[in-house]
Amino acid sequence: MQKVSFFRSIHLKFVLIYLLLIIIAMQIIGVYFVGKLEDRLVKNFQTAVEGRLPLLEYNIREELIKDRSGADIPPLETEVHNLLLDFSASDISEVRIINNRSLIIGTSDPSNQKIVGQKMTDVMVKRTLTYGEKEDRLFLDKQSDGRVWILTYPIKSGDEIIGAIYVVAKIETVFEQMDEINNIFITGTAIAMLITAILGIVLARMITRPIADMKRQATAMAKGNFSRKVKVYGPDEIGQLAQSFNHLTKKLQEAQAMTDGERRKLSSVLTFMTDGVIATDRKGRIILINERAVEMLNVSRETVDGQPVIEVLQLEEEYSYEDLLEERESLILDYSTDKYPYILRANISVIQRETGFVNGLIAVLHDITEQEKLDAERREFVANVSHELRTPLTTMRSYLEALSEGALHDKELAPRFLSVTQYETERMIRLVNDLLNLSKMDSRNYEINANWIDFVKFFNHIIDRFDMMKERDITFKRLLPNKVIFVEVDEDKITQVIDNIISNALKYSPDGGQITFRLKELDGKVEISISDQGIGIPKDNIDRVFQRFYRVDRARTRQLGGTGLGLAIAKEMISAQGGEIWAKSKEGKGTTILFTLPYDPVQEDDWS
């Protein structure tokens, strides 16, 4: 029996779950309680400060509207200063009185009396003097390294705003109280966690003890010992599970005697469970069918249960049940339609007793559609290669025979025949090189040497090269971004891809036509497209342009020296570098070949 370490045991898992539940509950309660308490304390502080302002506002208003034409009446600033001295408190840093012209006429800060008579430019004061509404805000004072609350309160005489009160209150004391409450809460949580951990260990032990007993019993049962019983510790769910376990032990002991007769059939079925499996009785009626066979035959389990296997497999016209019992070769079941090929292979295995009595048979179904498709593609590939090689070889043989029969001495014909022979030789060399490239890609026997390149500059360079080499009246139009875009790619292989696409565009573009080059930045990739105004591709064949040896116009492609492998190689190279390639086309209007490459602007910035 493999020993389970403490850190992987269910005992520890119970304790951790119990602790996590307590932590989550305490955190939820703490966040809610502390948040609500903080809001209440701040609100109470603000209410207490604001509740003292109406009396001050009344006294200041009386002083502002008082007639001061008498000689024995003190100046306004003196009276305001005296009123502010009476308003001073420990939780208020400073109180300023501002008239309706935004001039400070008094401050409670003895060290800041020089500001009296200066203009107050605070936005809150301006809004209060303009709209007659109180304003407040809370911010961190960098000088005192504490939070302060600022309140502007209007002074009104009837409907007229004659001034404002500017109060700076020290609200940091409220948050200091909250810090003390948080410390108390954290200490309480730690104590609760310690007690919870102890209780969790005790409770987990009570739960895991009977489970450990059942584990030992299961190990004994695996070794064939059914005599042991699990101890029942109580009438709870675990106790009921222990009773059920003991009942199961008894039933297994009884069932062991019945398994020998079914072991051979079960072994045959389990051998082929990776594919579709059908088992029959001795009369050929289906008694077992797995899900895979149901999917393969597109039937339901209820309809085929008890039906003859030859009818379910649609073999009644060719075979009888007795023929299947004697069949030693695999059966090919062709369920293909006009649109979709679908071929199965059925392997028949007879179930017999030691006496030779036939109990039934097992049919194992294998889906060989893809295998048949690959075989067909392989045969088509060989035929295409043979055809592509035979055409230039036939041409070369004809011209060589003509040369050997005397044309060699003809000063006009000999150079022309030799030129054709050389052209066909180069065409075969290109074909063989393309086949070798595809062979390397199929075997993954090639490397991607990726480097960071400025793709816009790289793309322009390739276009410039073709622009200088083109021999026909074809216009190049570039829609490329005017900035640097770094992409990590194999420069040689991408060059080969773009060369193939531009070469095809030039071949199929008419005189006076236009080839358009585009480069777009997308999410996580760049998209490159090359569009021509050629003959286009029929809609039904657009998905085949990347197949090997596919040509839109076979006669013209061979005339221009194409092998039909360029786009197939391009697809393999783009896929190897994590990109995609596809085509868009309208017959008679032109074709666009598009491909994408991985692109990460963040890595580009780091590289730069």
What is the Cα 130 distance to its own chain's centre? 55
More confident residue, 551 or 242: 242
Tokens 């001073």, residue located: 88
Q: For the whole model, what pTM was predicted?
A: 0.39
Asked if 193 and 22 count as a contact pair (C-beta separation under 8 A), the reply is yes
Q: How far is CA 24 from CA 35, 192, 391, 601, in A?
A: 16, 13, 79, 40
Q: At what angle do helices 10-51 and 172-222 cross, to 10 degrees?
A: 170
From CA 313, how far away is CA 302, in angstroms rounded? 16
Q: How far is CA 438 from CA 445, 549, 572, 577, in A?
A: 10, 12, 8, 15
Structural domains in the chain, CATH included, are 53-88+92-170 (3.30.450.20), 261-366 (3.30.450.20), 372-442 (1.10.287.130), 451-607 (3.30.565.10)
Q: What pLDDT score was predicted for residue 4?
A: 46
Q: What pLDDT score was predicted for residue 433?
A: 67
Sheet holding 92-99, edge to edge: 104-107, 92-99, 160-170, 146-157, 135-141
Q: At what angle do helices 76-87 and 53-65 cross, to 10 degrees?
A: 170
Q: What pLDDT score was predicted for residue 457?
A: 92
At 478, is the secondary structure helix, strand, or coil? strand
Closest CA to 450 of 318, 322, 286, 576: 576
From CA 98, how far away is CA 106, in angstroms rounded? 7
As given in the structure block, the two tokens for residue 279 are 């088992």
Dihedral sign of CA atoms 49, 51, 52, 55 in order: positive
DSSP output for 158-175: TTEEEEEEEEEEE-HHHH
H helices of 338-485, where?
A: 369-404, 413-442, 455-469
From CA 422, how far away is CA 419, in angstroms rounded? 5
Q: What is the DSSP letter of 483?
A: S
Q: What is the DSSP letter of 353?
A: -
What is the Cα 588 distance to its own chain's centre? 40
From CA 147, how far away is CA 307, in angstroms rounded? 85
Per-residue pLDDT, averaged over 450-472, amounts to 87
CA atoms within 13 A on the CB side of 413: 12
Per-residue pLDDT, averaged over 430-442, amounts to 63
Q: What is the 3-state secondary structure (H, E, C) of 84-125?
A: HHHHCCCCEEEEEEEECCCEEEEECCHHHHHHCCCECCCHHH
Q: What pLDDT score was predicted for residue 382?
A: 63
pLDDT digits (tens, 9 = 90+) for 186-243: 888 888 888 877 877 777 777 777 777 777 777 777 776 767 677 776 676 767 777 7
Q: What pLDDT score was predicted for residue 8?
A: 60
The type of residue at 1 is M
286-325 burial code (b ≥16 CB/10 A, e <16): bebbbebbbebbeeeeeebeeebbbebbebeeebebeebe
At 428, is the secondary structure helix, strand, or coil? helix
Under the banding of pLDDT at 50, 70 and 90, the label for residue 411 is confident
More confident residue, 320 or 408: 320
Under the banding of pLDDT at 50, 70 and 90, the label for residue 2 is very low
Under the banding of pLDDT at 50, 70 and 90, the label for residue 3 is very low
Terminal CA-CA length for the chain: 59
Asked if 573 and 496 count as a contact pair (C-beta separation under 8 A), the reply is yes
Q: What pLDDT score was predicted for residue 536?
A: 84
- Any bridge partners for residue 157, and if so which? 160
All residues at 6 or more sequence positions from 275 whose CB lies less than 8 Å from its CB, including other chains: 292, 364, 365, 366, 367
Q: What is the 3-state secondary structure (H, E, C) of 211-250?
A: HHHHHHHHHHHHCCCCCCCCCCCCCCHHHHHHHHHHHHHH
From CA 325, how far away is CA 323, in angstroms rounded? 5
The type of residue at 115 is I
All residues at 6 or more sequence positions from 33 whose CB lies less than 8 Å from its CB, including other chains: 185
Q: What pLDDT score was predicted for residue 560?
A: 46
Neighbours of 30 (CB within 10 A): 16
Q: Select, from the ranges 57-71, 125-139, 365-379, 552-566, the one with the highest average predicted confidence (pLDDT).
A: 125-139
Beta strands 525-531 and 590-598 are: antiparallel
From CA 219, how far away is CA 477, in angstroms rounded? 77
pLDDT digits (tens, 9 = 90+) for 233-276: 667 676 777 778 777 777 777 777 677 667 666 656 555 566 78
Is pLDDT at 551 greater than 70 in this prediction?
no
H helices of 52-75, where?
A: 53-65
437 phi/psi in degrees, rounded to 5: -60, -45
Q: What is the mean pLDDT of the chain?
A: 78
The type of residue at 320 is S
Per-residue pLDDT, averaged over 53-63, amounts to 84
pLDDT digits (tens, 9 = 90+) for 321-375: 888 888 777 888 888 887 778 888 888 888 887 777 888 888 888 888 777 776 6
From CA 601, how far away is CA 608, in angstroms rounded? 10
Q: Is 158 left (phi over 0), alpha (psi -120 to 50) or beta?
A: left
Neighbours of 18 (CB within 10 A): 17
From CA 550, how far away is CA 541, in angstroms rounded? 9
Q: What is the dihedral of CA 430, 435, 438, 442, to 10 degrees?
A: -170
